[in-house]
Structure formats: structure tokens, C-alpha cells
Structure 1
Amino acid sequence: MNLPPENCLTVSDFNSHSTSWGYKESDRRGDEIEDWQIKNNLLLLNDPEDPPTFFSRRWISTSTPDLAFASDDISKITSRKVQNQLVGSDHKPVLLAVNMNYKPSNPKTFPRWNYSKADWVKFATLSDKLCKSVKCDDSNVNRACGMQSNAKQQHST
């Protein structure tokens, strides 16, 4: 399924497990949905800390199969809140509020720096001083700083 790159919101009961949306383990369907999410450049609106959206009367357990994905532009202006259980349903309603009045302050502005005004002597002195205490026995900077697992987590979401 090809989704538009912007103005896209996809919501469903996906019946899958992934650590990205609060489960202790991921299952095959969860992996497939994460691959689909990455392929379509979607962001998950669910927060793993949100309350579960499903209550199984049979197993007396809760889970979060109800997911909301959005393109980057929509994710920035959308909030998600799990509501109270309705009588007769095993799923809690989820409120997605899209702020249609949002106007970016200046979407075409990029940060700029005037390097000619930098105090390069001070920069070099401080860099030398602060870097002396850094000990690195590993040639992989990410692994040496303990950032390897963080980089993988950010890439998968």
C-alpha cells in the first residue's frame, strides 16, 4: 500500500506486538508493521507510557493493539489521548486531535552561523582542555560512548 508522503494519518487495531508501543517483546506482525512504518516514513503517535486501549474479558488482561501513525507534518500537530472505557466495548476510544490552526513560525528559515566571528583560539584551547579527560580504547566512537543501542532504537522508530 503506497501512502502519501504528507497529510497522512493511519489508525487501526493492528493486533501486533512491538516494544515500540509498549510490549515486552515484539512478534512477527509487529516487525512487519515497523517495516511498513519505516518504508512509508510514518511516525508512531502512541506513547508506550499511555494506558492500554484493549481489555480482554476472556484473559483478564490489557494490551495496546490500537495504533496511530502519521506523516511528519501531521505528527507535529496531533495529540493522542486514551479515553475511558465505554460500556459494551473491549476497546477504549482514542482521541486524536489535529490542530488545524497551527502555523509554523518560519518554515523556510535555516540556522546560520557566522564562522568569521568565532573565537577559534578559545575554541581550540577549550577543546584541548576538555578532551584530555576522554579515554577511548575503542575505535568505534558510538560503542565507546555507549550510544550504539540508542542509534539502533532511533533508526527503528
Structure 2
Amino acid sequence: MSTLTERRAAAIAAAETDRQVRRLYAVAYAASRTSALMLNPWTSAAGVQHATARTAAARSAATRLLTLPGVAEHEETPYALSFITLAERRVTGPRAEVLAVANAARAAADVEPDETRRYGLRHLENEARNLIDGARYFGLDHGRRTHVLHLQAAAARYGLSTTG
């Protein structure tokens, strides 16, 4: 039989593990909520950058929390980590690529002196934002994925940088 002191120490260790898992959940939920910006077709370049940075910070914090005793072995840890994985998929997926095209086209159109070229850039922006809006309901399946590649090719023809 274990002594009262041993049982108390085990209870304190279990409570600390539960507290750390709750911290992991809080980090994961925050990353998931922030990455939901990628679902909005009007998210700005700053919003995309913010969601990307917060998701990376959440993965880093989760990695540190997993090194604490008992957190990696806790039964709820995989579920909490799934929220961070979802956030990572959102900020690196096709929607992020399309938002990059839309935001680059908007920035270029705002400073473009040529009216015809400005019209083309606005059209490219609207096409990209409409694709994201439709993807909210239908996803970016194979047919839409080819549309993403078309948008990226059009952005390249305009000389737009859609990275970073």
C-alpha cells in the first residue's frame, strides 16, 4: 500500500499534468481561431501574416509543452494537437496561395497608373476572392486547384510577387 504522502504527490503531479494540457488546449484553440482568417476572402496581407505567425508560435509552444512530464502521454493531447495541425493546413494551403494573389493584385492596382492594367489587376483580385468565397462551401477540389494554378500564372504575367 502506498502512503498518504505518496498518494498526495501522485495527485499533485496529475493535477499539474492536467493544467499543462489545458494550456496546450488554450494555445491550440487560439491558433485555430486565428487561422480562421484564411476562410475570409477579404483577409488582408497583414491578416495572413498574422495568422501565419500565430500558428508558428502555437506549434513552438506546443512543442515546449510536450516536453513537460506527462503531457505527451496524456489521452487528450492528440486532440489538442489536431487544432494546431488544422491551423497549419489553413495557413499553408491553397486558400493562402489565393489570398496572396488577391492581396498582391490589390496592392499593385492601387499604385498602377495605366487604367487598362489596373482593370486587369482588379479583375484578378476579384477572381481570387470569389474563388476563396466559393471554396468556403465547396472546398478547393481538383477543378478549383487548377483554377488556383491559373490565378498564379496570371499573377506571374503581371509580375506580382505572391510569396511572403
TM-score bracket for the superposition, by shorter chain length: under 0.3
TM-score using structure 1 length:
0.21
More strand by share: 1
More helix by share: 2
Greater relative contact order (CA < 8 Å, ≥ 6 in sequence): 2
TM-score using structure 2 length:
0.21
